[in-house]
């Protein structure tokens, strides 16, 4: 009888310990370590993380903490509604890679996720999906099988944001092929994110309630090896916007991409919004607008630099454009071929902007070449003694007033539309 009672007590105690490990503590936070995660960089922690996330979801939400460690994943994660997955970082760390050779590795100083699933398969499920009120914060995402000295392997999106109010905060996207899919959600928040997404940084589409992207910095810290960075400059797109209703983008930057900021038309529609403090450096084309909403893209306080590639251009507005784009108080510099190539039926405006270093090959290219549509240029400074503007025959309307030129005014006007050119000051 005594042995039987001891056995019963032992089973009861074991059940209590197991239940305690699976249940959230009173403060609503739990650790992935309590669910079996090792963080040793070798053991697959996918199942342990998902157990912790599911437990928090069943409890109605809470925080799942991933303490310091290198967590290895062969699968993907789903963050339930109301759950935060949090590492130790309070702001984005720095993990600079090697310049010429070697595979950079994150240092063992925080919470790092080693992602390996679906190498070579871009269409697989995202590594981590955030749902309604879900948050990822304070972690580094690192793909250890990616080669820092060669063209990258395709992978699916590192993060997908779904539901309402998903958030990505203080996250380093060290070297994903595709970074954040911020489509098909409402009121997403992406803040304090840095790293080197190789093919696509952030993709926004099907957003019908205001999304926010703040303090995002994509720079080639992981690898600037000539072959990899050359591939990135031929294929990479840092920020891509499809349908978004009054998107807010604040203090963002990218370096070394084919396109810095790209605005496209999808089956959901086109973008309008407030874009303040944009930066695109050493991109083949800093801004590409395939289409935009009539409510306009308002791009203010930007700096755009292009000097590499087959035809380095700051802004290209495609023939498919039918909406409105306004650049206000922006600086365009670097030895490019052209500041802007404008086409389409829409409206493009430049107000209080500064233009420097166009026509690098001395081919007689103007800073702004407008093939069609409506263009507004006012209060701008053209700092080169070169041709400033060329209006093509299909330009419908042009208002070019109150600008200052270095040298004489050189505006080639071939337009058959309505034009107002006045009060410009040369030397």
Enter the tokens of residue 152: 């990258």
In a domain, 1, yes or no: no
On whether both 191 and 120 belong to a single domain, the answer is yes
In this predicted structure, what is the pLDDT of residue 104? 47
pLDDT at 48 over 60: yes
In this predicted structure, what is the pLDDT of residue 105? 60
User: Count of alpha carbons within 13 Å of 219, Cβ hemisphere only?
Assistant: 14
Type and span of the H or E element at 347: strand 347-351
DSSP per position, 3-25: HHHHHHHHHHHHHHHHHHHHS--
Of 149, 182, 200, the residue at which a domain comes to its end is 200
On whether both 174 and 270 belong to a single domain, the answer is no
Enter the tokens of residue 217: 């910095």
More confident residue, 334 or 24: 334
Identify the residue whose tokens are 């992978």.
155
More confident residue, 338 or 5: 338
In this predicted structure, what is the pLDDT of residue 109? 78
In a domain, 255, yes or no: yes
pLDDT at 19 over 90: no
Type and span of the H or E element at 381: strand 381-382
Closest CA to 424 of 391, 375, 389: 389
What mean pLDDT comes out for the span 29-56? 97
Residues 356-384 pLDDT 10s:
999 999 999 999 999 999 999 999 999 99
What mean pLDDT comes out for the span 192-210? 97
Of 176, 200, 224, the residue at which a domain comes to its end is 200
What mean pLDDT comes out for the span 18-26? 43
In this predicted structure, what is the pLDDT of residue 97? 57
- DSSP-derived secondary structure letter, 269: B
In this predicted structure, what is the pLDDT of residue 392? 97
On whether both 84 and 175 belong to a single domain, the answer is yes
Type and span of the H or E element at 233: helix 226-235
Q: What's the Cα-to-Cα distance from 35 to each of 48, 54, 59, rounded to whole Å?
A: 5, 11, 15
What mean pLDDT comes out for the span 175-190? 98
At 95, the pLDDT band (50, 70, 90 cuts) reads: confident
What mean pLDDT comes out for the span 74-97? 92
In this predicted structure, what is the pLDDT of residue 93? 86
On whether both 326 and 411 belong to a single domain, the answer is yes
Enter the tokens of residue 16: 């209590």
In a domain, 312, yes or no: yes
In a domain, 320, yes or no: yes
Enter the tokens of residue 399: 């208002």
Enter the tokens of residue 91: 């702001």
From CA 164, how far away is CA 53, in angstroms rounded? 18
- DSSP-derived secondary structure letter, 212: E
Domain of 381, in residue numbers: 236-427
At 94, the pLDDT band (50, 70, 90 cuts) reads: confident
- Number of independent structural domains in the chain: 2
On whether both 37 and 176 belong to a single domain, the answer is yes
pLDDT at 403 over 80: yes
More confident residue, 27 or 8: 27
At 235, the pLDDT band (50, 70, 90 cuts) reads: very high
Q: How many angstroms from the chain centroid is the CA of residue 205?
A: 13
pLDDT at 396 over 70: yes
From CA 337, how far away is CA 339, in angstroms rounded? 7
Of 152, 182, 200, the residue at which a domain comes to its end is 200
From CA 179, how far away is CA 52, in angstroms rounded? 24
For the CA atoms of 361, 364, 366, 369, the dihedral, rounded to the nearest 10 degrees, stands at -100
CATH of the domain at 68: 2.160.20.10
């Amino acid at each position: 009888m005594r042995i039987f009672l001891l056995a019963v007590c032992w089973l009861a105690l074991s059940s209590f310990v197991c239940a305690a490990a699976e249940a959230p503590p009173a403060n609503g936070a739990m650790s992935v370590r309590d669910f079996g995660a090792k963080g040793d960089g070798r053991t697959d922690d996918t199942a342990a993380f998902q157990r912790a996330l599911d437990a928090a979801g069943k409890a109605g939400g809470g925080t799942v903490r991933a303490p310091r460690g290198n967590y290895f994943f062969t699968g993907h994660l789903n963050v339930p509604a109301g759950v935060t997955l949090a590492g130790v970082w309070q702001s984005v760390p720095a993990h600079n890679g090697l310049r010429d050779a070697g595979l950079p590795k994150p240092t063992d100083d925080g919470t790092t996720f080693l992602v390996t699933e679906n190498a070579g398969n871009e269409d697989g499920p995202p590594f981590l999906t955030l749902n309604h009120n879900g948050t990822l914060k304070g972690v580094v995402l690192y793909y250890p099988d990616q080669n820092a000295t060669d063209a990258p392997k395709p992978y699916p999106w590192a993060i997908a944001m779904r539901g309402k109010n998903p958030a990505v905060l203080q996250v380093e996207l060290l070297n994903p092929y595709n970074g954040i899919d911020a489509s098909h959600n409402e009121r997403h928040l992406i803040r304090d994110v840095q790293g080197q997404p190789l093919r696509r940084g952030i993709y926004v589409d099907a957003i019908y309630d205001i999304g926010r992207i703040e303090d995002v910095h994509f720079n080639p810290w992981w690898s600037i090896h000539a072959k990899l960075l050359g591939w990135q400059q031929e294929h990479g797109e840092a920020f891509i916007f499809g349908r978004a209703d009054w998107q807010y983008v604040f203090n963002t930057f990218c370096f070394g991409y084919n396109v810095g900021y790209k605005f496209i038309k999808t089956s959901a529609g086109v973008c309008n919004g407030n874009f303040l403090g944009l930066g695109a450096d050493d991109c083949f084309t800093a801004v590409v607008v395939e289409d935009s909403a009539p409510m306009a893209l308002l791009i203010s306080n930007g700096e755009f630099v292009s000097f590499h590639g087959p035809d380095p251009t700051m802004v290209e507005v495609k023939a498919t454009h039918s909406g409105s784009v306004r650049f206000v108080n922006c600086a365009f510099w670097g030895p490019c071929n052209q500041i802007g190539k404008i086409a389409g039926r829409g409206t493009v405006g430049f107000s209080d902007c500064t233009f420097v270093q166009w026509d690098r090959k001395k081919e007689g290219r103007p800073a702004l070449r407008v093939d069609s549509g409506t263009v507004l240029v006012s209060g701008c400074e053209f700092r080169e003694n070169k041709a400033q503007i060329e209006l093509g025959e299909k330009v419908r309307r042009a208002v070019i007033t109150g600008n200052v030129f270095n040298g004489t005014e050189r505006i080639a006007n071939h337009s058959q539309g309505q034009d107002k050119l006045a009060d410009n000051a040369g030397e």
